[in-house]
């Protein structure tokens, strides 16, 4: 019900006719008036007692209904009004206005800082835009973090300083961590337009945002998260290749995926990277020969190919002699091609590393990894190595297993956000059993 639009701006020079307390008074007055008139009318009707009782009951019911309608109407408006009043309060108490005395000595507000606000009730998102107009408040409105946070009783999620306004983002609905459920049947997702739900309000689609980086110290939850992603890739009928130079969790999956798809030694890793590259070039060739303007791989009937490269740092450290160093150079060159050319052909890479040093992957290539995640506690240099300029200024401590920071290119967020990876309860969720729904055991 949208009868009239409320001005979603707080400005002390304006007079606001509708306020939440006035609305409350109006609501109760209407109800009181309705009760009085209804019952006065009924009491004055000449009718048998039983009919009057019936009319009273009917009247009571009617009033209940009217009250219900009014209440929901008022609650809808109240969200906006209370927000505006909190912002006016902030402007007032922080003296974000300038007064001037008129001829009769009456002090009047002549200028005020202006706070615009937007409310998305579905997401529970409040966006406050403090306008920067070059007036005396322009500096102050860029640092309202704690003041706004206190007035709204919410934690500041993100702050973006733009040329003509500063954005403050708050959420009053806490995003929820995804909890993995086991299935008895395989799920097939045909359309690549359907995003992968990463939980905590994050949806990921490799077509819009190709390639993934997962970094984090030992025990931070990299393998758990990669296992989850692997299942999501398989549901989308992707071909998955695994390179696990440390030959740990992922390497042991060769039993299910087949040796052709899983590599643990440098030579084998180099072989699967070559294999992926061959398919990439074949796809390019095919798409050139069957050229359709603007068409991507899926419109040519191709499914995604994912190369999961665990512990890239360990792989690079393994090169000790001349021969193995050559292999590493060749593999890294292949990875570079996949990162730079893969998107069009639907060939993607997921890289995991304990530390994302510039020697592991130079920053230009890193910036081409669309989804970047840092799990577990990290130093601010650690975050900077993963997120670069998207490192948030204020970082929350990481206290939950599998939690960290996430940055997704094109998501509209300027900096990395706090995030908790899908929760995998091993007593409830059997990864291998789940995997077997998608992979028929080889040999
Ligand atoms: N998403 C999650 N849900 C539930 N538990 C988790 C999750 N992520 C991590 N854990 C817990 O943390 C432990 C370590 O996680 P994991 O093996 O994924 O870490 P890792 O980063 O791969 O470590 P390493 O670098 O040593 O391989 C798991 O055994 C599990 O108990
Ligand atoms: Mg691991």
H, E, C per residue of 357-392: CCCCCCHHHHCCCCEEEEECCCCHHHHHHHHHHHCC
Instruction: Output the pLDDT for position 43.
Output: 87
Given the CA of residue 216, which atom of ligand 1 is nearest to it? 21
Residue with tokens 């048998």: 48
> What's residue 1's pLDDT?
43
Between CA 401 and CA 385 the distance in angstroms is 21
Q: Which ligand 1 atom is nearest residue 376's CA?
A: 21
Residues of the chain short of pLDDT 50, as ranges, are 1-2, 441-443
Query: For residue 220, how far is its CA from the centre of ligand 1 (angstroms)?
Result: 5
Cα–chain center distance at 230 = 20
The pTM for the full model equals: 0.80
Ligand with minimal distance to 250 CA: 2
User: Where does ligand 1 bind, in terms of residues with CB under 6 Å?
Assistant: 216, 218-224, 354, 401-402, 421-424
CA nearest neighbour of 385 among 409, 367, 403? 367
**pLDDT on residue 4:** 61
| pLDDT for residue 99 | 94
- Between CA 231 and CA 180 the distance in angstroms is 11
User: What would the pLDDT profile of 372-424 be if each residue is shown by its tens digit?
Assistant: 999 999 988 899 999 999 998 878 889 999 999 999 998 878 899 999 999 99
C-alpha 350 to ligand 2 mean position (Å): 14
User: Is residue 347 a contact partner of residue 276, using CB atoms and an 8 Å limit?
Assistant: yes
Query: Quick one: which atom of ligand 1 is closest to the CA of 420?
Result: 1
The residue among 12, 249, 250 whose CA lies nearest residue 137 is 12
Q: In what order do the strands lie in the sheet with 115-120?
A: 9-10, 115-120, 125-131, 165-171, 156-161
- Look up residue 440 and give its DSSP letter: P
> How many whole angstroms separate alpha carbon 211 and alpha carbon 341?
11
What integer pLDDT is reported at residue 442 of this predicted model?
46
Q: Which residue has the tokens 């180099």?
A: 270
Check residue 7 and give its pLDDT: 83
Q: Which ligand sits closest to the CA of 423? A: 1
**Closest ligand 1 atom, residue 311 Cα:** 25
Where b means 16+ CB within 10 Å and e means fewer, 353-392 reads bbbbeeebbeeebbbbbbbbbbbbebeeebbebbbeebbb
88 CA to middle of ligand 1, Å?
Answer: 47
- Ligand 1 mean position to 385 CA, how many Å? 21
Cβ partners under 8 Å of residue 379, min gap 6 = none
Q: For ligand 1, atom 16, name the residue with the nearest CA.
A: 221
* pLDDT score, position 336: 95
d(CA 243, ligand 2 centre) in Å: 13
34-69 residues labelled b (16+ CB within 10 A) or e (exposed) = beeebeeebeeeeeeeeeeeebeeebeeeeeeebee
pLDDT at residue 394, rounded to an integer: 79
């Amino acid at each position: 019900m949208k009868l009239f639009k409320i001005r979603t701006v707080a400005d002390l020079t304006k007079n606001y006719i509708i306020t939440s307390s006035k609305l409350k008074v109006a609501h109760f007055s209407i109800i009181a008036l309705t009760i009085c008139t209804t019952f006065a009318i009924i009491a004055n009707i000449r009718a048998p007692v039983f009919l009057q009782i019936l009319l009273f009951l009917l009247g009571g019911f009617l009033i209940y209904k009217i009250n219900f309608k009014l209440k929901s109407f008022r609650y809808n408006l109240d969200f906006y009004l209370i927000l505006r009043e909190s912002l006016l309060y902030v402007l007032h108490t922080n003296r974000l206005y300038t007064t001037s005395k008129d001829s009769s000595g009456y002090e009047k507000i002549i200028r005020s800082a202006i706070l615009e606000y937007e409310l998305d009730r579905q997401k529970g998102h409040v966006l406050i835009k403090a306008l920067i107009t070059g007036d005396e408040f322009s500096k102050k409105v860029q640092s309202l973090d704690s003041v706004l946070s206190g007035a709204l009783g919410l934690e500041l999620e993100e702050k973006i300083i733009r040329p003509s306004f500063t954005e403050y983002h708050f959420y009053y609905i806490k995003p929820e961590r995804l909890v993995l459920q086991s299935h008895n049947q395989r799920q097939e997702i045909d359309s690549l337009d359907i995003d992968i739900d990463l939980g905590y309000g994050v949806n990921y689609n490799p077509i819009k945002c190709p390639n993934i980086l997962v970094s984090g110290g030992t025990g931070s939850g990299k393998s758990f998260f990669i296992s989850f992603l692997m299942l999501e890739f398989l549901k989308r009928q992707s071909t998955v290749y695994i390179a696990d130079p440390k030959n740990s969790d992922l390497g042991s999956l060769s039993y299910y995926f087949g040796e052709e798809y899983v590599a643990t030694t440098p030579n084998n890793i180099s072989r699967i990277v070559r294999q992926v590259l061959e398919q990439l070039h074949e796809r390019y060739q095919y798409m050139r020969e069957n050229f359709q303007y603007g068409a991507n791989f899926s419109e040519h009937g191709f499914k995604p190919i994912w190369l999961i490269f665990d512990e890239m740092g360990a792989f690079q450290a393994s090169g000790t002699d001349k021969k193995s160093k050559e292999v590493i150079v060749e593999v890294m060159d292949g990875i570079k091609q996949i990162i730079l050319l893969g998107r069009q052909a639907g060939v993607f890479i997921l890289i995991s590393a304990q530390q994302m040093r510039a020697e592991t992957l130079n920053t230009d290539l890193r910036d081409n990894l669309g989804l970047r995640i840092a799990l577990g506690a990290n130093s601010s240099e650690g975050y900077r190595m993963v997120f670069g300029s998207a490192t948030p200024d204020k970082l929350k401590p990481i206290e939950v297993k599998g939690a960290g920071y996430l940055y997704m290119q094109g998501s509209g967020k300027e900096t990395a956000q706090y995030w908790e990876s899908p929760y995998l309860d091993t007593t409830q969720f059997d990864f291998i059993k789940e995997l077997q729904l998608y992979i028929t055991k080889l040999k």
